[in-house]
């Protein structure tokens, strides 16, 4: 069914969450072994933490930077990049900050929550490689604090990324969610927006999401990597 949908669609948006990168070795957030099962995000991944809890903030994000630099995109990321090159899918909207879609040579990737690939100064905005965090170099030459270029809880998303994501979601014929609990707004509004504008919603996620009842297809008992390999085989058989 999905292979046929993809062949007939004019505009296909893929929306990914942390479940897209667990098969690369990165933890997600809300699964039983997810990051937020051990850590309260408001205490560690927020602007308040950067101001009041900075040592723990540094260590938490240094561990995540090491995770991202120590892992790499898996077969699923490469299939999505291939599908973009073949014109099967168009924009990828991701909540992930690991940069794996771009590392797999995907183009047209909208990073709703920013990226762990760089850090920047909280005072003068100067940008550095995330290697600074690997080296525990946490301060800018201006003396300001360096922080990952991710959207922290309590911060606004980048306005132009949101506008582009709205535009792509509203014009999608097919909107495919891969590996997200769809529990964080405003990111979780994009599948809803696409659906309300007539898109066929497809959700591939090991656990239930609040929007499963709107989806034409929900796949829960198949890993994303295996699912993408299977559909890729169907598309090219
Ligand atoms: N295949 C299919 N589904 C998977 C896989 C997999 N290999 N691995 C994990 N999942 C599913 C989990 O069951 C879970 O429901 O992916 C989902 C990931 O959900 P979350 O951990 O909530 O991650 P996400 O939806 O991306 O979180 C959104 O929350 O903390 C913020 O900024 C953070 O971007 C993140 C946002």
Q: Dump pLDDT digits (tens) for 52-72.
A: 999 999 999 999 999 999 999
Would you list the domain boundaries of the chain?
1-26+73-113+158-237, 27-70+118-150
Q: How many CA atoms lie within 13 A of 35 on its CB side?
A: 18
Over 90: is that where the pLDDT of 12 sits?
A: yes
Residue 18 has what pLDDT? 98
Best of 23, 29, 42 to mutate for ligand 1, by most ligand atoms within 8 A of CB?
Answer: 29
Q: How far is the CA of 122 from the centre of ligand 1 (A)?
A: 28
Asked if 177 and 202 touch (Cβ cutoff 8 Å), the reply is yes
List C-alpha distances in Å: 78 to 14, 34, 84, 237: 13, 24, 10, 18
Locate the ligand 1 atom nearest the alpha carbon of residue 225 and give its number. 7
Residue 237 has what pLDDT? 86
Domain 1-26+73-113+158-237: which CATH class?
A: alpha beta
Domain covering 27-70+118-150, topology: SIR2/SIRT2 'Small Domain' (3.30.1600)
Measured by CA distance, the residue closest to atom 30 of ligand 1 is 29
Best of 14, 15, 16, 19 to mutate for ligand 1, by most ligand atoms within 8 A of CB?
Answer: 19
Q: Examine domains 1-26+73-113+158-237 and 27-70+118-150 and report if their fold is the same.
A: no
13: confidence class by pLDDT, cuts 50, 70, 90? very high
For residue 175, the surrounding DSSP H or E stretch is strand 174-178
Asked if 113 and 95 touch (Cβ cutoff 8 Å), the reply is yes
Rounded to 10 deg, the angle between the 189-196 and 159-170 helix axes is: 30
**119-133: pLDDT as tens digits:** 999 999 999 999 999
Measured by CA distance, the residue closest to atom 25 of ligand 1 is 180
The binding-site residues of ligand 1, defined as CB within 6 angstroms of any ligand atom, are 17-19, 22-23, 28-31, 34, 41, 95, 113, 179-181, 183-184, 204-207, 223-224
Over 90: is that where the pLDDT of 177 sits?
A: yes
21: confidence class by pLDDT, cuts 50, 70, 90? very high
Q: How far is the CA of 18 from the centre of ligand 1 (A)?
A: 4
Residue 112 has what pLDDT? 98
Give the residue numbers annotated as catalytic, written as ranges.
Answer: 113
């Amino acid at each position: 069914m999905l292979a046929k949908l993809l062949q007939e669609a004019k505009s296909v948006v893929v929306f990914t969450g942390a479940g897209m990168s667990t098969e690369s070795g990165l933890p997600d957030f809300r699964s039983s072994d997810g990051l937020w099962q051990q850590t309260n995000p408001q205490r560690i991944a927020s602007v308040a933490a950067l101001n009041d809890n900075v040592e723990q903030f540094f260590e938490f994000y240094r561990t995540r930077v090491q995770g991202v630099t120590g892992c790499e995109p898996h077969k699923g990321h490469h299939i999505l990049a291939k599908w973009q090159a073949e014109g099967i899918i168009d924009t990828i909207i991701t909540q992930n900050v690991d940069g794996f879609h771009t590392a797999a040579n995907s183009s047209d990737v909208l990073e709703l929550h920013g990226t762990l690939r760089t850090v920047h100064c909280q005072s003068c905005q100067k940008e550095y490689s995330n290697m600074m965090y690997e080296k525990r170099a946490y301060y800018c030459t201006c003396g300001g604090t360096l922080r990952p270029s991710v959207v922290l809880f309590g911060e606004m998303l980048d306005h132009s990324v949101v506008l582009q994501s709205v535009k792509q979601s509203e014009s999608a014929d097919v909107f495919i969610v891969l590996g997200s609990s769809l529990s964080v707004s405003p990111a979780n509004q994009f599948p809803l927006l696409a659906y309300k504008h007539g898109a066929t919603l497809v959700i591939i996620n090991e656990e239930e999401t609040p929007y499963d009842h709107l989806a034409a297809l929900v796949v829960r008992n198949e890993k994303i990597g295996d699912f993408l390999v299977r559909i890729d085989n169907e598309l090219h058989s």
